[in-house]
Amino acid sequence: MLREETLVIENALNDERFFDNPLVTGDPHIRFYAGAPLHDPQGQRVGTLCIIDRKPRSFSEEDKTILRDLADLVEREFSIGAIRDHSEDRTRALNVLTEIVLDSAGDTNERAARALRIACDYLGLETGIVSRVTDTVYTIHWHFTRGTNPIENGTTLPLEQTYCALLLESSHKLFAIQNMAESGFTNRPCYEVFGLETYLAAPIWIDGEIFGTVNFSSHSPRHRPFSATEEMFVTLFADWVADTLYRVQRTETLNKLVTQAPGMLYQYRLWPDGHSSFPYTSPGIKEIYGIDVEEAAIDANKAIARVHPDDLPELLKSIEESAQTLSQWQLRYRVRLDTGGWSWVEGLAQPEALPDESILWHGYITNVDERQRIDEMKNQFISTVSHELRTPLTSISGSLGLILGGATGPVNEKTAQMLTIAQRNSKQLRHLIDDLLDIEKLVSGNVTFDASVQRLDEAAEAAIEEIQPMARKRGVEVQLNVLERDLYANYDIVRLTQAITNLLSNAIKFSPAGAAVRVDLSKSGDEAKLEVRDQGPGVPESFRDRIFQKFAQANSTSSRTKEGTGLGLAITRELMQAMGGEVDFESEEGSGACFWITLPLAEPGTQ
């Protein structure tokens, strides 16, 4: 073992170094010896591969080479064994970390205590602590111990009296001591106060700053140094603790913010089999639905059961449509209170498709009782005023027409011009009042529909004929392109004509003189589709989410140049929904717009 060369003794009795060796003079009476040194993977000599015999033998250079080759094979086995042991150690460490990471039972404090216990078992140490360090104060955040000295979370100590100070004074990397009594730190206060002999710690980094440490210790010394795998384990454990603490901090921050937000912030998840839950809700769910966060996380049915029976079908339909199209969900509906009354709420959420084919919405729901009350008062006011103005306006318009027609005698040119302006303005005001009354009736459900199965091109032709005077006045041509002529649907021809006319009026109003408005009638799946395309400026991006709201106009200032009440598209939407259809649009600024309506197809002769 003391030399690198192969040692050969062909006859020990003739070698002055060994002739009187007990193994030569006595049993086993060695005469021949050949030995090659063996090294561990780090290059240290650990033994020999030797050949002995009771008889003297000769040993050639070739024999020496063979023995050295055999020794090399043994050393290779040492290396393979070391690699295997290292791999097994790494695998065990990673398995322990995986067990810790996948543990989801209980709250964060319970999971942290279990993780420290598992880590102590793996390292063979008494105590595991997650500490927080602020300035010169050391606080025990989480802990596990098998020691006799009691430890409590929240206990604070001067940092200088803790082993943690040794880590923070170093390079802020891993710090390990296997036998404190034989280290250079025996004069430190921590050794005098706690007397720990074994210590292994790593810093916890959060947002680029040290939060504290994760450390493991025992009162008894360790007989071997910590392995690279054990040091890796503690480093990765510190990373897991950092991630856990980061999520806890962010959750606490979010909860503080959402408690100040009106209503509830939430995530709603719908699975393909139909069951649903609220994976996350703010405490405001108690105010909106009267249920607890924990109940909502298990099953959403308790919340859905609170929805007004008249509003429930629309709620479920809107959720289904949002899930199918991944479009924004928005709805106003009523929810039952604990007192037995009803409260108006409004929700807005954005859906996200998940890999398991479930849909997750992120949004909020807020109480809109006051807004609903104001809307109802406004609608009632508009309805009352409109009814009161309609009769006198009819008389004024009729009287102006009689005067202009000469019923009261000749009218000079200047007076006729002024009377014409007055008559035109009275007609516009009458049109506004008619729109106001229409939208009020539609919203309140007081419009009667006389629906029957009819050809759709009849309604399109009627609407185009009705709008022709406006089109000629503005120099715009309206073109009808019937791609599918025998399309039938169940609709009220007066109301559908009104809806199409509203779309045509908008298209003509925003088209330049000499342009064409194209009307295409086609089949789309099991629906009939009527499209109105114009060559106008398109719909501004900032206006698109409000375009179907009442009184909505792209330019609502006093300087706007286009006539209109801002009710036409809102009326069209209400009409189409009442007849089981839809209205929508697409547009690119500067390239015109295309509005379309759809209705379910029906067989002729059915009702």
pLDDT, tens digit, for every residue of 319-351? 999 999 999 999 999 999 988 899 999 999 999
Query: Please, what's the largest Cα pairwise distance for the chain?
Result: 160
| Numbers of helices and strands, H then E, in the chain | 15, 21
- Give dist(CA 470, CA 62) in Å, integer: 114
| 3-state DSSP assignment of residue 504 | helix
- Domain annotation for the chain: domains and CATH numbers: 7-81 (3.30.450.40), 108-256 (3.30.450.40), 264-367 (3.30.450.20), 372-443 (1.10.287.130), 452-600 (3.30.565.10)
Torsion sign over Cα 410, 416, 418, 423: positive
- What is the b/e burial string over 174-183, where b = at least 16 CB atoms within 10 angstroms of the residue's CB? bbbbbebeee
- pLDDT at 560 (0 to 100): 39
User: Would you state the pLDDT for residue 552?
Assistant: 57
Please give the distance of CA 204 from its chain centroid, rounded to a whole number: 27
What is the full DSSP assignment across 308-330?
-TTTHHHHHHHHHHHHHHTPPEE
Q: Which residues contact 14 (CB under 8 A, 6 or more apart)?
A: none
Both structure tokens of 260: 């100040």
Q: Which pLDDT score, from 0 to 100, does residue 558 have?
A: 39
Q: What contacts 564, CB < 8 A, 6 or more positions away?
A: 505, 506, 509, 553
Residues of the chain with pLDDT under 70: 1-3, 81-82, 85, 172, 382-383, 385-390, 427-428, 431-432, 435-446, 550-566, 606-607
- Residue 259 phi, psi (nearest 5): -65, -20
Q: pLDDT by residue (tens digit) across 101-136?
A: 898 888 899 999 999 999 999 999 999 999 999 989
Contact criterion met (CB below 8 Å) for 153 and 143: yes
Handedness of CA 258, 259, 260, 262 (dihedral sign): positive
Nearest CA among 563, 548, 570 for reference residue 428: 563
Please give the pLDDT value at position 606. Answer: 67
pLDDT at 17 (0 to 100)? 87
pLDDT at 126: 93
Report pLDDT for 604: 85
Beta-carbon contacts of residue 374 (< 8 Å; ≥ 6 apart)? none
